[in-house]
């Protein structure tokens, strides 16, 4: 079942009259529950594509379908509500709210949904246990290590049991071991909650966790396969 | 509630800046409270003074204040005593005072000068309370029957004529029939009114002596004194209806000093208030601009997670509202301390223009001004913060997330 489908997405940036065509026609389909890695050389447009799929940016042309429903031309408010209910984000540099405790950071998306206090408590607790930060819940982000922060961020992204999680290089600020555990968490919990995860990464070792890998090249997807047979070398090109 | 807590936490991000803005807001509110409190105190003192001076309501001949008299007491009141008895029957009325205004020459035998006379009832000083200062001798007493005509004269007039208590003087004036008349008076007391022009001219006699000098039994005016200042307006209207044949004047119509001071202060302090509010507005604008710029990335993350623009904007408005509200509270408290302090430690103000006496500086703490000024400051804070943050909040999410 298709969760998100794109047709011929294009996106260009204009810098001093020079047009840089970043995406030239991306056809992508994400199926519910899968864990998809997006790879490609730096500057190839991974972040640009993730922003479009996360509905925080709009394409120049092409179409996006959410559950086969066309999103082109929907209002900003409509997209906001859609993100509020169904999309979670994990950012490279965490983007936690510094004045909130880990607990409140995780609970924030639930508060946006108007969830009751007891239900929030239950979810935050179980997620915190799952990502292994249940003893750190009263701490503010500044008092946590990078890995701990990203665990909080993952818990936050998962809290509302979103249909889609967008993760742009979630491990780039972490050391190798931490990066591995964090991605493993993201995949396992995504699976557990039935969330589709789209993760952009440079890190070849992470790709073996992916159900499927897609590679951006010259503005469109050139590789769309299972991870079998993809070598680290290929990923990094 | 959660949002309010979040707003509150956000105030702690940059404590120094928050505190500085809060203090500026507080000082602004204190400034507004202190200036308006001083103005209110002044208005009330002047009102009190004006009411005491001539009464809450003044009864005269209908033409007295509009026409010039051709001879003394041409526009005087007849039958004052019976009118006064009737007025005293009203329960609001504490007392009435009849006065005869007259003028002429005063002489010590060698030297003459112009005087402004007031023939007054002896209970004047009880009814009016302290409106002038007795430097020597005695004021008029109620139950004394004096055979000699006596006078209270201004200090400068006494100096000018080189007389003291017990010395004799002669008052000369024209009677109602146009004849020249004179009476001898003994100086009973020497007074200061606080107004130099008055002190060099003032002569007060008993009302009968003034009437004898002018050869008339009319009076210039009757001042009606009420028990409660708050009744003044109602009672004035009542008298206007009851005495259509008389001139009925409310206290403030003749309180020229009160009116001009009030006009002047309203303008001065009004401008000051606007300046203070503008300063508070800009301070909040500045703080809000800085804090929104520092938090652009966070705003991007909040928006990506599905926070609505207006929720984000509301968060910043709440922060500004909290600063404005807390600042107001602190400001009101400071203003309260100031007015208490001024009650305990008296600070003397210099004499106002045209006066010789200073007066104690006091600042009223007015609940009404407190409400208005806090409401203004909070509204202004929210408005200024709205202006400052709107642009940042409207930034496209991707741009906000990449903001360095
Ligand atoms: N806001 C922007 N304005 C102008 N050009 C941009 C903007 N954002 C991205 N680009 C350009 O578009 C291209 C793709 O950028 P993007 O961030 O999508 O790449 P990426 O694949 O995520 O790179 P990386 O792996 O380094 O994160 C880059 O060449 C970049 O210079
Ligand atoms: Mg990128």
Residue B252 covered by a domain: no
> Which residues make beta-bridge pairs with B133?
B192
- Here the tokens at position B305 are 């997670």
Please indicate, yes or no, whether residues B202 and B120 belong to a single structural domain of this protein: yes
What is the rounded CA–CA span in Å between residue A112 and residue A84? 7
Residue B239 lies in a domain: yes
Asked if residue B209 and residue B154 are part of one domain, the reply reads: yes
Residues of A in contact with B13 (CB under 8 A): 98-99
Q: What is the dihedral of CA A136, A141, A145, A146, to 10 degrees?
A: 130
CA distance A218 to A41: 10
Nearest to B9 among A51, A80, A99 (CB): A99
**pLDDT for position A208:** 84
- Are B274 and B213 within one domain? no
The yes-or-no verdict on residue A223 having pLDDT over 90 is no
Tell me whether A80 touches chain B (CB under 8 Å): yes
Domain count, chain B: 2
B230 and B82 inside one domain:
yes
Convert the pLDDT of each residue in B84-95 to its tens digit.
999 999 999 999
- Taking the C-alpha atoms of A207, A209, A215 and A216 in order, what is their torsion angle to the nearest 10 degrees? -90
Given the CA of residue A44, which atom of ligand 1 is nearest to it?
A: 21
Predicted confidence band at B311 (pLDDT cuts at 50, 70, 90)?
very high
B111 with B226, same domain: the answer is yes
Residue of A nearest to B11 (CA): A99
Confidence of residue B346 (pLDDT cuts 50, 70, 90): confident
B189 and B314 both lie in a single domain: no
Q: Both B269 and B392 in a single domain? A: yes
The tokens for B248 are 């009925």
A112 touches chain B (CB under 8 A): yes
Q: Ligand 1: residues whose CB is within 6 Å?
A: A 13, 15, 20, 22, 40, 42-48
- Same domain flag for B232 and B267: no
pLDDT at B205: 95
Alpha carbons A83 and A52: distance in angstroms, whole number: 12
Question: Are residues B264 and B330 part of one domain?
Answer: yes
Chain B's closest residue to A53, CA to CA, is B304
B43 found inside a domain: yes
* Average pLDDT over chain B, rounded to an integer: 92
What is the enclosing helix (H) or strand (E) of A172? none
Q: How many residues does chain A have?
A: 237
Question: Which range (B25-34, B55-64, B121-130, B329-338) has the least confidence?
Answer: B121-130
B4 lies within 8 A of chain A by CB: no
Claim: this prediction has a pTM higher than 0.80: yes
Pairing of strands A196-200, A164-168: parallel
SS3 string, A21-42, reads EEEEEEEEEEECCCEEEEECCC
Does residue B137 belong to any structural domain of this protein?
yes
Tens of pLDDT along A159-196?
999 999 999 999 888 888 888 888 999 999 999 999 99
Of B2, B12, B305, the CB nearest to A83: B305
CB contact under 8 A, A95 and B401: yes
Q: Which domain holds residue B213?
A: 62-245
Decide if B265 is inside a domain.
yes
B192 and B241, same domain (yes or no): yes
Give the count of alpha carbons within 13 A of A33, CB side only: 5
Among residues B215, B245, B275, which one ends one of the domains? Answer: B245
pLDDT band at B60 (very low <50, low <70, confident <90, very high): very high
Q: Are residues B229 and B116 in the same domain?
A: yes
Q: Specify the pLDDT at position A209.
A: 85
B32 found inside a domain: yes
What is the spatial distance between Cα A142 and Cα A135, in angstroms, rounded to a whole number?
Answer: 15
Residue B54 lies in a domain: no
Mutate which of A14, A19, A41, A45 to test ligand 1's pocket (most atoms within 8 Å of Cβ)?
A45
Angstrom CA distances, A172 to A177, A179, A227, B386, stand at: 12, 8, 21, 36
DSSP secondary structure letter of residue A3: E
Q: What is the mean pLDDT of residues A107-127?
A: 95
Q: Are A53 and A198 in contact (CB under 8 A)?
A: yes
Averaged pLDDT for residues A38-50: 93
Residue B215 lies in a domain: yes
Give the total number of structural domains in chain A. 1
Same domain, B234 and B149: yes
Establish whether this prediction's ipTM goes over 0.90: yes
Last residue of a domain, one of B245, B277, B300: B245
Please give the average per-residue pLDDT across B183-192, as a whole number: 94
B85 vs A: CB within 8 A: no
Report the CATH number that the domain containing residue A214 is assigned in CATH. Answer: 3.40.50.300
Parent domain of A180? 2-236
Task: Map chain B to HEC letters.
Answer: CHHHHHHHHHHCCCHHHHHHHHHHHHHHHHHHHHHHHHHHHHHHHHHHHHHHHHCCEEEECCCCCCCCCCCCCCCCECCHHHHHHHHHCCCCEEEEEEEEEEEEEEECCCCEEEEEEEEECCCHHHHHCCCCEEEEECCCCCCCCCCCCEEEEEHHHHHHHCCCCCCEEEEEEECCCCCEEEEEEEEEEEEECCCHHHHCCEEEEEHHHHHHHHCCCCECEEEEEECCHHHHHHHHHHHHHHCCCCEEEEHHHCCHHHHHHHHHHHHHHHHHHHHHHHHHHHHHHHHHHHHHHHCHHHHHHHHHCCCCHHHHHHHHHHHHHHHHHHHHHHHHHHHHHHHHHHHHCCCEECCCCCCCCCEECCCCCCHHHHHHHHHHHHHHHHHHHHHHHHHHHHCCHHHHHHCC
Q: Please report which confidence band the pLDDT of residue B221 belongs to, taking 50, 70 and 90 as the band edges.
A: very high
Q: Which of B193, B212, B245 is the last residue of a domain?
A: B245
Residue pLDDT, tens place only, B254-293:
889 899 999 999 999 999 999 999 999 999 999 999 999 9
Mean pLDDT of B316-322: 96
């Amino acid at each position: 079942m298709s969760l998100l489908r794109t047709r011929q997405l294009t996106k260009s940036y204009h810098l001093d009259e020079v047009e840089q065509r970043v995406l030239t026609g991306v056809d992508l389909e994400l199926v519910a529950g899968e864990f998809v890695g997006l790879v490609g050389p730096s500057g190839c447009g991974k972040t640009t594509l993730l922003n479009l799929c996360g509905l925080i940016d709009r394409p120049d042309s092409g179409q996006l379908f959410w559950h086969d429903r066309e999103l082109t031309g929907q209002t900003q408010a409509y997209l906001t509500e859609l993100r509020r209910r169904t999309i979670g984000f994990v950012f490279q540099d965490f983007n936690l709210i510094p004045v909130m405790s880990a607990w409140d950071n995780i609970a924030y998306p639930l508060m946006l949904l108007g969830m009751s206090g007891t239900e929030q408590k239950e979810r935050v607790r179980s997620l915190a246990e799952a990502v292994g930060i249940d003893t750190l819940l009263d701490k503010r982000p500044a008092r946590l290590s990078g890995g701990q922060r990203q665990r909080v961020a993952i818990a936050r992204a998962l809290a509302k049991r979103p249909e889609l999680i967008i993760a742009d290089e979630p491990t780039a600020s972490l050391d190798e071991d931490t990066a591995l555990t964090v991605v493993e968490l993201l995949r396992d919990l995504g699976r557990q909650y039935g969330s589709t995860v789209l993760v952009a990464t440079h890190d070849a070792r992470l790709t073996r966790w992916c159900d499927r890998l897609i590679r951006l090249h010259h503005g469109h997807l050139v590789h769309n396969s299972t991870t079998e047979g993809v070598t680290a070398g290929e990923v990094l090109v | 509630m959660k949002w309010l807590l979040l707003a509150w936490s956000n105030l702690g991000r940059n404590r120094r800046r928050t505190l500085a803005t809060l203090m500026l807001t507080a000082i602004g509110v204190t400034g507004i409270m202190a200036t308006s409190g001083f103005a209110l105190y002044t208005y009330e003192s002047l009102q009190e003074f004006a009411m005491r001076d001539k009464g809450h309501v003044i009864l005269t001949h209908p033409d007295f204040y509009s026409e010039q008299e051709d001879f003394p007491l041409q526009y005087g009141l007849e039958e004052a005593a019976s009118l006064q008895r009737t007025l005293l029957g009203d329960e609001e009325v504490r007392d009435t005072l009849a006065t005869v205004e007259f003028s002429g020459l005063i002489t010590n035998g060698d030297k003459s000068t112009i005087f402004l006379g007031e023939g007054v009832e002896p209970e004047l000083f009880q009814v009016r309370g302290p409106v002038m200062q007795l430097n020597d001798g005695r004021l008029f007493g109620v139950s004394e029957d004096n055979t000699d005509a006596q006078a209270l004269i201004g200090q400068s007039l006494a100096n000018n004529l080189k007389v003291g208590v017990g010395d004799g003087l002669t008052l000369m004036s024209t009677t109602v029939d146009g004849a020249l008349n004179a009476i001898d008076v003994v100086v009973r007391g020497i007074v200061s009114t606080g107004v130099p022009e008055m002190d060099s001219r003032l002569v007060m006699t008993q009302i009968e002596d003034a009437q004898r000098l002018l050869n008339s039994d009319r009076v210039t005016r009757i001042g009606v004194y009420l028990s409660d200042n708050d009744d003044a307006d109602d009672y004035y209207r009542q008298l206007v209806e009851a005495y259509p044949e008389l001139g009925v004047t409310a206290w403030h119509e003749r309180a020229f000093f009160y009116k001009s001071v009030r006009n002047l202060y309203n303008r001065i302090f009004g401008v000051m208030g606007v300046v203070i509010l503008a300063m508070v507005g800009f301070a909040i604008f500045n703080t809000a601009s800085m804090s929104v710029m520092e938090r652009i990335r966070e705003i991007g993350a909040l928006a990506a997670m599905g926070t609505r623009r207006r929720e984000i904007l509301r968060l910043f408005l709440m922060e500004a509202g909290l600063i404005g509200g807390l600042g107001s509270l602190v400001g009101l408290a400071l203003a309260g301390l100031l007015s208490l302090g001024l009650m305990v430690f008296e600070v003397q103000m210099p004499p106002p223009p045209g006066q010789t006496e200073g007066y104690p500086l006091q600042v009223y703490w007015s609940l009404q001004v407190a409400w208005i000024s806090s409401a203004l400051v909070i509204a202004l804070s929210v408005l200024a913060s709205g202006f400052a943050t709107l642009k940042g909040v409207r930034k496209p999410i991707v741009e906000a997330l990449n903001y360095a």
